[in-house]
A and B are shown apart, each in its own frame.
Chain A
Amino acid sequence: MYTFSNRLRTAAFVLMIVGALGLVYGFFSAPSTEAEAMAMVADAHHGDDHGAATHDAGAAAEHGQDAHEEAGHGEEAHGEGTHAEEEHGTSHGEHLLHQLQNKPWAALYVSAFFFMMISLGVLAFYAIQRAAQAGWSPVLFRVMEGITAYLLPGALIVFVILALSGFHMNHLFVWMDPEVVAHDELIQGKAGYLNVPFFLIRALIYIGGWAAYQYFSRKFSIAQDTASDDSNFKKNFRISAGFLVFFLVSESMMSWDWIMSVDPHWFSTLFGWYVFASMFVSGITVIAMITIYLKSKGYLEFVNDSHIHDLAKFMFGVSIFWTYLWFSQFMLIWYSNIPEEVTYFVTRIEDYKLPFFGMLVMNFIFPLLILMNSDYKRLNWFVIMAGIVILLGHYIDIFNMIMPATVGDQWFIGIAEISGILFFAGLFIFVVFNALTKAPLLAKRNPYIEESKHFHY
């Protein structure tokens, strides 16, 4: 049995407290009037000399232009299209105020989603191992089950944020604003799907399905430890196969609802797959990292280098799969250059140059070169280092999905964003390692456990 070391528990609490303080600071430092918002932006430009990172599009002179250019969000979304030119000054202030007020919410939402997504990715990976009756992985099942324990709390936090959006506590989703919908024919046409009650009901269905599978597969897995036959194992096989069908549909719809709908005019048909690749590679990376951590503490003595090697192969392979989907989405939109589609990437390349291209380096070029060599995949510290970069890269991936539509060119990875990561990292560590203490780390009656112990590449 694993015991949650006091040092790790303290670290988790410190992360949560520091993160919570930073998030609170983020909410308090958001402006409450247009004048404050204008003053904040003006200050920032005098202060940082325009040189900060690639924030070039934030220059005050370009703001007027931006409001015109941001077809997908700026003018139409706020129903300003018909405003006369002299009103532009005030509407710009209002727009800026909304962006700055969204900032702490968006920071909270991106981190909450990111850690929920890790857990969901692991759940999908676990279900695939179960449904495929894989022989190599049963020694890692308890680690995976531990990570998926975060799914329910993590998804409920995301749900609360979504519900708060629905009650107009924030403006993450412009289509929830009746004022916007009244002036926007495109959103009106989608109102049958994009309306708050249906949106929240769908969210509950997804979360309910995932949590139910998580609960029962864990229950059967533990029951199998003391069983005298394989009936629990077979039940787990059946519900895993069923879950995968539910998951593929619900995950796609979840990605449309929770991410793609922040840009309600824009759509991409492979978006679900793209988000899936991101969650899958993050999840596998976290399995590898937690396995290596537990091994370094003297647990999981039955896990050998070949298991780590296989996880690292998945990290490598799914990173490339992610790139394939990213590029498939990007190239078609870039090539066809249809205004309502291409605005998505125009915003990202103009206002988010560093995170947008930096993410490609972190999520593709780095793992490609680092994890290509077969020997490196067996070096534990190497896998950890590669894993940290992959995780940060996929955080930025989610950041790039949410931020352009919610905070526009006012993005910054500052106190609120980093605190969001710290808070949810702390919570994640606390929940996951707590769950790991609840059951033996070896699923000892699994029929494939001997094969898995002797797994040799």
Chain B
Amino acid sequence: MASKVIQALYNDDDVLMSAVKRVKAERHHIEEIYTPFPVHGLDKAMGLAPTRIAITSFLYGCVGLTVAITMMNFIMIEDWPQNIGGKPSFSYLENMPAFVPIMFELTVFFAAHLMVITFYLRSKMWPFKEAENPDVRTTDDHFLMEVALHDNEEELKALLADTGAVELKITEKH
């Protein structure tokens, strides 16, 4: 069964922020907010759980570092021992300074790319996916807040209008 939501549009991020605080204070459930740019502190105001993407990023970095170390140990030391900078020691540890830039780059590469991919997966985004935002103006200059309705239409309408919403819409949420 589809549930009903009320959509309030704002045209300023500060107005939106204070509206979010009002709505939260009145104990209504905010389903989702669509903004044209990241609004600082919005996640905290909405009461969202803190992001865990930083932890994944650290773990991906560790994977990248491990890949770099094993890869270079195989390529440069074991499979085809290389004379590095006139130091034919053929020991990974003794040639380590030469490998540090690659270790750094692969750590960053893995952390960054896998973190972005994780973010896409978690946000259910993939190429050619139809946009989910209910109003195209949220990609331009408007902010949209969706609040769940439970037979309290009039009350919510009054509250949202009072918080400075420039437009109110009631739709079915799929």
Contacts and interface: CB of A to CB of B under 8 A. Distances in A.
B127 interface: no
Contacts of A372: 58
A330 B97 contact: yes
A82 interface: no
Interface in A330-360: 330-331, 334-337
Contacts of B100: 327, 331
A374 B97 CA distance: 30
A332 to B, nearest CB: 10
B54 A335 contact: no
B94 to A, nearest CB: 10
A337 B97 contact: no
A32 to B, nearest CB: 43
Interface string A319-334: 0000000010011001
Interface in B20-34: none
Interface in A353-395: 372, 374
B85 interface: yes
Contacts of A330: 97
B86 A331 contact: no
B169 interface: no
B58 A336 contact: no
Contacts of B85: 334-337
Contacts of B97: 327, 330-331, 334-335
A330 B98 CA distance: 11
B87 interface: yes
Given A372-B58, A374-B54, A331 B98 contact: yes
A336 B41 CA distance: 50
How many interface residues does chain A have, given as a range?
10 to 19
Interface residues of B, number: 10
A327 B100 CA distance: 9
Contacts of A334: 85, 97
A327 B97 CA distance: 8
A336 B100 CA distance: 16
Nearest to A324: B104
B39 to A, nearest CB: 14
A331 B96 CA distance: 10
Contacts of A374: 54
A304 to B, nearest CB: 15
Interface in B82-106: 85-87, 97-98, 100-101
A337 B98 contact: no
B54 A337 contact: no
A337 B58 contact: no
Interface in A173-191: none
B84 to A, nearest CB: 8
Contacts of A331: 97-98, 100-101
Nearest to A369: B58
Contacts of B58: 372
A330 B86 CA distance: 16
Nearest to A335: B85
Nearest to A456: B41
Nearest to A372: B58
B121 to A, nearest CB: 23
Nearest to B98: A335
Interface in A235-291: none
A232 to B, nearest CB: 32
A140 B41 CA distance: 24
A295 to B, nearest CB: 24
* Listed residue (B41, B87, B97, B98) with the most chain A CB atoms within 10 angstroms of its CB: B97
B85 to A, nearest CB: 5
Contacts of B86: 337
A170 to B, nearest CB: 35
A406 B145 CA distance: 69
A335 B85 CA distance: 6
B56 to A, nearest CB: 14
Contacts of B54: 374
A52 B85 CA distance: 34
Nearest to B86: A337
Interface of A: 327, 330-331, 334-337, 372, 374, 456
9 contacts: A327-B97, A327-B100, A331-B97, A331-B98, A331-B100, A331-B101, A337-B85, A337-B87, A456-B41
**7 tightest A-B CB contacts, nearest first:** A335-B85, A331-B97, A334-B97, A337-B86, A337-B85, A327-B100, A335-B98
Given A337-B86, A372-B58, 14 more contacts: A327-B97, A327-B100, A330-B97, A331-B97, A331-B100, A331-B101, A334-B85, A334-B97, A335-B97, A336-B85, A337-B85, A337-B87, A374-B54, A456-B41
